[in-house]
Amino acid sequence: MTNSATAVAHANIALAKYWGKRDEALALPATSSLSLTLDAFHATTTVTLDPAADADTATLDGRPMSDGELARVSRFLDLVRSLAGSSARAAVDSVSTVPTGAGLASSASGFAALAGAAAAVYGLDLDARGLSRLARRGSGSASRSVFGGLVVWHAGTDDATSYAEPVPGGEPGGPLDPAMAVVVLDAGRKAVSSREAMRRTVETSPFFPAWAEATERDVALMLDAVRAGDLAALGELAESNALRMHATMLGARPPVRYWTAHTVAVLDQVQALRADGLPCWATIDAGPNVKVLCAAPDLPALADALSDGGTRRVVTARPGPGLRVDAGGAS
């Protein structure tokens, strides 16, 4: 019997954003969303069963997780244990190349890897869709990191129908050949967690219903653009969708604003680059950092321009792979 499993999951960046839940307990989103899994950032997580222990333990990058982080991991393991009919506690060891809590999708890769390793070690027999549904319960965006390339997360109406699946067309060298330059303006932890900011937006922003309607439409239009191999249409929709998400949270009380002056400077530059004939489109998540979509052949020139003479840190990314699980741990 295997008592240890390791999984690797890559971060994803949404082009049509998930911002707001309709059911907190089941982590059902208010809308569908569409993302690109990136090769540049990933989490590697090992889960080892320890039947003699009376509590779970967890480390992140070799250090014990904070009480809050451990509680969230342990709650997720409780769900896995209830599905598996097990009471064994576990040791979780995670190593991540994603800065945590900076709007760089650390929880997406983290919970997708945890879902993969925990499902294997507790003996849940899940297919990719089942793993996506499970990862969703840890962190909504983690449902998408189970798959590589372009991914759609169907909002669904209940636990069984809310899952992600891959969208053909985003493969490296394919018709869209997408790539992304990630401008890391601030890798520090954000002041308001995306979970709290989402909740506040749903409860207090008068713009929220319009956001939810528009995003469901955006996902459909983006899927059309992908099918047509039209990166420009996809990019224009993505930039608009991100600005609408931030407009919606600016409408919350108290308002949520993740942008800094540096964020705005990068948005200005993206607009100027486009006007100069370099097709590229910005998106921003729950943090000040800006991710810029382009066609892969344009990535070196884009990254060079965004680095602003080497004064800004820019990470270049191509489409990344889906979840990989190695259940061959110690027996």
Can you give the binding site for ligand 2P0, defined by CB under 6 A? 14, 17-19, 27, 33, 107-108, 139-141, 194-195, 285-286
E strand or H helix at 209, and its extent? helix 208-227
Instruction: Pick the closer one to ligand 2P0 by CB: 36 or 49.
Output: 36
Establish how many alpha carbons lie within 13 A of residue 286's alpha carbon, considering only the half-sphere containing its beta carbon: 25
For residue 18, the minimal CB distance to ligand 2P0 (Å) is 3
3-class DSSP assignment, residue 68: helix
Instruction: Pick the closer one to ligand 2P0 by CB: 4 or 248.
Output: 248
- Mention every residue, 6+ apart, whose C-beta is less than 8 A from residue 32: 16, 152, 153, 154, 155, 215, 216, 219
For residue 245, the minimal CB distance to ligand 2P0 (Å) is 6
Instruction: Pick the closer one to ligand 2P0 by CB: 14 or 58.
Output: 14
Distance CA 298, CA 44 (A): 30
For residue 109, the minimal CB distance to ligand 2P0 (Å) is 11
How many distinct helices (H) and strands (E) make up the chain?
Answer: 8, 14
For residue 301, the minimal CB distance to ligand 2P0 (Å) is 27
Instruction: Pick the closer one to ligand 2P0 by CB: 19 or 281.
Output: 19
Instruction: Pick the closer one to ligand 2P0 by CB: 21 or 312.
Output: 21
Instruction: Pick the closer one to ligand 2P0 by CB: 108 or 273.
Output: 108
DSSP 228-251: TT-HHHHHHHHHHHHHHHHHHHHT
For residue 9, the minimal CB distance to ligand 2P0 (Å) is 13
- Asked whether 305 and 273 are in contact (CB, 8 A), the reply is yes
The residue number with the shortest CB distance to ligand 2P0 is 140
Which residues sit opposite 45 in a β-bridge? 7, 94
For residue 218, the minimal CB distance to ligand 2P0 (Å) is 12
Q: Is the dihedral of CA 131, 84, 157, 204 positive or negative?
A: negative
